[in-house]
Amino acid sequence: MDIKDIIKSSLDESARVNTEASVDKDLIFALSKASNLLIETFLSKGKILLAGNGGSAADCQHIAAEFIGRLNFDRNPLPAIALTSNTSNLTCIANDYGYEEIFTRQMHALANENDSLIVYSTSGKSKNIIKLVAESKSKVKNIIALTGNYTEELSKYADVVISVKASKTTRIQEIHAIAGHIMCECVEETLFNT
């Protein structure tokens, strides 16, 4: 396949998944509910903890930065911690306790009852994410999960599941990036621009 064909095919597929997401009533409802839970978190003086693996780890750091920094305009910072970014924590915990504990142990150290947890798992089956949400249920106020088609495990523990109806990881992650921006925009507009 020619490089230009690969590019065109990828852009076409991305546009299709984006268009489908824009009319997915379940996705829109979940984003609305999640945004309201995050607004409540900040109004209750809570913070957001975020966790995910691989590209989803980068999404966590990205969205934490949007809350702490800014998205669309200057405003006060909002507290958010990406549990993916401290390599000393991650390697120490993985070495001493196992990879499935890398987020859970940090959550036990950092989580408070007014906090929200946002987790990303494109497969919906990441063992360390499932363990995290199971143990977080009694520690945080809300759990928001972003995933792909498979929602069975995360639905047991999450207050909101934002499910992207796609099978390809790249397309799921693209919608997750948009979803993160939308949630941050809803929070920012509601708390600082009304």
pTM over 0.85: yes
Between the alpha carbon of residue 3 and those of residues 13, 29, 169, the distances in Å are 15, 38, 20
Region of 150 please: left (phi>0), alpha (psi -120 to 50) or beta: beta
The answer to whether residues 137 and 113 touch, using CB atoms and an 8 Å cutoff, is no
Element (H, E) at 118: strand 116-121
Domains of the chain from N-terminus onward: 3-192 (3.40.50.10490)
Which 3 state secondary structure label does DSSP give 81?
A: strand
Q: What is the pLDDT along the chain (194 residues), one digit of tens a residue?
A: 799 999 999 999 999 999 999 999 999 999 999 999 999 999 999 999 999 999 999 999 999 999 999 999 999 999 999 999 999 999 999 999 999 999 999 999 999 999 999 999 999 999 999 999 999 999 999 999 999 999 999 999 999 999 999 989 999 999 999 999 999 999 999 999 87
**Under 8 Å CB-to-CB from 91, ≥6 apart: which residues?**
none
Q: What b/e sequence results for 137-147 when a residue is b if at least 16 CB atoms lie within 10 Å of its CB, and e otherwise?
A: eebbbbbbbbb
